[in-house]
Amino acid sequence: MPDTPPPAAAPAVVGSLSPSRAGDFMACPLLYRFRVIDQFPEAPSAAATRGTVVHAVLERLFDLPAPERTLDAALELVGPQWQALLEAEPELAALLDGEAAGSGPDGDLPAFLADATDLLRRYFALEDPTRLEPAERELHVTTVLESGLALRGYLDRLDVAPSGDLRVVDYKTGKAPPPGFEGKAMFQMRFYALVLWRLRGRVPRQLQLLYLGNGERLHYEPDEADLLATERKVHALWRAISAATERGDFRPNPSRLCEWCDHRQRCPAQGGVLPPLPAGPLPLGVDADTDELPSPSSPLDEV
């Protein structure tokens, strides 16, 4: 009997990257440092919390039999999903309590729920969930490239056609970027497509972004050349992150996103005082706890 060659050993993991943290480094290396190296906490926002509730509703909606996935059914899920989130994170009550938070868009629970309702109405204008049967929802995916770099992330939804074609769907609770500014969102989708290609040996047929903030849809059909280019970009980014980590040198990159950044008081580009780096060897890469920050706070972390 001929010898069977042993299976190739998986490469040793040298670090890991998610599209969110890759996006942080591209937008502002110092923001990446504050989130991944220092792991400073960030305050939750009403917008991010609303996004979490809407994502939960859209996940649970597909638990219902197809004919029952109506707008009314989705709206009935808003209250229970908000309550479930509140039980898990009681501090969110203060964020939306009018007396505690003061007047304004962040301090009004009825307005918060009404906004969530508007987002769901726009979802139903974009697609009909009674005609869909997602293969996966809130799917955690991870793969290790030959270089040892682990890529990871969460897919909002994965649809698989009878032909085996894959469609990756991501819900955004903000508005679609203007023409010519779709790059950041599409990088995230290509990143997911690369992970799925490496995991399943099949290039996803379509990447689809549903913008519930203004009811627009972006879609893209990647090919192998796109995903190989994405892999090269991810490796180049990883080399830049590794070099910054070795030097302990993360430069601020001021932009209009600073307006939503939680770290302005410690950012020298905003007149703040840069705290010293943590003692000891700096963590290279993204550990499981910071892979996807749970409470995105702004357009810095569109959900």
Distance CA 282, CA 242 (A): 10
Q: Which of residues 262-301 bind ligand SF4 (CB under 6 A)?
A: 263-264, 267, 269-270
Chain-centre distance of CA 116, in angstroms? 19
Stretch that binds ligand SF4, among 154-162, 190-198, 207-215, 250-258 (CB under 6 A): 250-258
Residue 275: closest CA among 284, 285, 263: 263
- Cβ-based neighbours of 121, under 8 Å, separated by 6 or more: 71
Stretch that binds ligand SF4, among 89-97, 178-186, 200-208, 255-263 (CB under 6 A): 255-263
H runs (alpha helix) in 224-293: 224-247
The reply on whether position 28 binds ligand SF4 by CB under 6 A is yes
Q: Residues 217, 126: contact at Cβ < 8 Å?
A: yes
* Residue 266: CB minimum distance to ligand SF4, A: 8
Question: Among residues 104, 105, 254, 278, which is the contact residue for ligand SF4, using CB under 6 A?
Answer: 254
Contact string (CB under 6 A) for ligand SF4, positions 193-232, x = contact: ----------------------------------------
Q: Which amino acid is at 72?
A: D
Stretch that binds ligand SF4, among 135-143, 170-178, 197-205, 260-268 (CB under 6 A): 260-268
- Cβ-based neighbours of 287, under 8 Å, separated by 6 or more: 16
Stretch that binds ligand SF4, among 78-86, 94-102, 227-235, 261-269 (CB under 6 A): 261-269
Residue 194: closest CA among 158, 174, 222: 222
* Residue 151: CB minimum distance to ligand SF4, A: 24
First to last CA, the chain: 55
The DSSP call for residue 144 is E
The torsion angles phi and psi of 103, rounded to 5 degrees, stand at -75, 170
Question: Among residues 257, 274, 277, 284, which is the contact residue for ligand SF4, using CB under 6 A?
Answer: 257
Cβ nearer to ligand SF4, comparing 28 with 189: 28
The reply on whether position 31 binds ligand SF4 by CB under 6 A is yes
Question: Among residues 26, 144, 218, 258, which is the contact residue for ligand SF4, using CB under 6 A?
Answer: 258
* Residue 263: CB minimum distance to ligand SF4, A: 5
* Residue 71: CB minimum distance to ligand SF4, A: 37
Q: Residues 230, 191: contact at Cβ < 8 Å?
A: yes
CA atoms within 13 A on the CB side of 137: 13
Separation in Å, CA 243 to CA 44, 150, 249, 269? 31, 17, 8, 21
Stretch that binds ligand SF4, among 56-64, 92-100, 256-264, 289-297 (CB under 6 A): 256-264
Residue 158's DSSP bridge partners are 136, 168
Question: Among residues 19, 22, 23, 30, which is the contact residue for ligand SF4, using CB under 6 A?
Answer: 30
- β-strands 206-211, 166-172 pairing: parallel
* Residue 253: CB minimum distance to ligand SF4, A: 6
Number of residues that bind ligand SF4 (CB under 6 A): 14
* Residue 96: CB minimum distance to ligand SF4, A: 25
- Give the binding site for ligand SF4 (CB under 6 A): 28, 30-31, 252-254, 257-258, 261, 263-264, 267, 269-270
